[in-house]
Amino acid sequence: MGIKLSRSPAGNFPQPPTPKLFRNIAVTFVLVTIAVIAVALWTSSVNAKVTVKVKKEPVSVDTVLDIASMPASGQIKGRVVSGTFAESKEFAVEVVSSTAAVAQTPTQISGTVRIINHYSKPQPLVVKTRLLTADGRLYRITKSVNVPVSGTVEVEAISDEVGDQYAMPAGTRLTIPGLWEGVQPLIYAEALSDFKRPGSGGPAKIVTADALAKAHEELYAAALEKAKQTLTVEAGANAGWESIFLINNSQKQSNTAVGQSADKLLAQVKVTVTAVFFPKEDVIAFIRSKLGEKIPEGYILSDLDFSKVSFKLESADLSKGVAHLAVSAEADSQLTADSPALRKDLIVGLPSDEVIRKWSALNGVEQVDVELKPNWVHRLPSMKDKITVVIN
């Protein structure tokens, strides 16, 4: 069997590629390379800055705290002491010009009466003997007297109850209801002076509500200061420890009442104080941990204002040196860049207006601004490393 050779119609062999084909391939390669480089340069040049203005949201906690001189687990080391302290002082009573300067606290009305005896026998009357006006107002004499036959006796009388309705003019006739009815027309009393509120007759030294309150206020402050100094020494607490002084009980007394005429008044204040001493940093850390349990993930607490923390003594065992305190505290919290809701991968490649709409709807966000570079692009970069999130 032989081999047959033949020629192609165009010649002996296929023609090689022309130079034009190689040129087209080279141009295409260059263009593709330029395009890839341009895309890479564009991608690397696009940056986004997302500024999130967050709201300060209050968070509060009510909890309990144990302070102990020998703390067990869950307790904070401290000192607990208690004591009762009293302060008293005599104050001069100032002159007031009229009843306008006297607090209108209801008070008894007093005046002088003349008791007249037209009976054939002398008439003894004991202290607090009743005197009655025709319209039913009742008064009592302030001391015992003995009214002679055909004679008179002057004595002070005071209204049985408080109130300005007991004021009456001089000359008003009063019966003595404790006597036999047949004798009452013969033995009776007449108002020798006007019965009126103390101090209503012009300038007089009258105890006012304001004066009594100021006296008690001064003594209260003095007693509390004495308690602080005494209990601090007694506790022997470290110099850097914080202290709170809780008023368990207070009593206020005076030897005069509002509206009473007097040259001086003696006032007294007595307070029972429990003092608790503790390291401030330890208590702040405890409160912050309790507040931290109240905030969602991605939130952070602001600084705690210790002056706004309130303490209430629930109980104290001085023999064991333990105080059980109710604590109420409040602080502000806010979103941080670590919040799961503010992850960068959630907004890569999104249009800027969609990012603003999406993040503005989040709880705790007040305002969102997006800044893109170059400024003619409208989408965020597709790489999260090119996105910066700033929290204000």
pLDDT in tens, 115-168: 999 999 999 999 999 999 999 999 999 999 999 999 999 999 999 998 889 999
Give residue-wise pLDDT tens across range 28-70.
Answer: 776 777 666 555 555 566 899 999 999 999 999 999 999 999 9
pLDDT at residue 28, as a whole number: 77
Q: Which amino acid is at 266?
A: L
pLDDT mean over 351-365: 93
Give 186's strand partners.
none
Query: What is this structure's pTM?
Result: 0.54
Q: What percent of the chain has pLDDT over 70?
A: 87
Residue of higher predicted confidence among 257 and 174: 174
- pLDDT of 3 > 70? The answer is no
Residue 311: partners with Cβ closer than 8 Å, 6 or more residues away: 244, 246, 276, 325, 326, 327
Structure-block tokens of residue 357: 């709409």
Mean pLDDT over all residues of the chain? 87
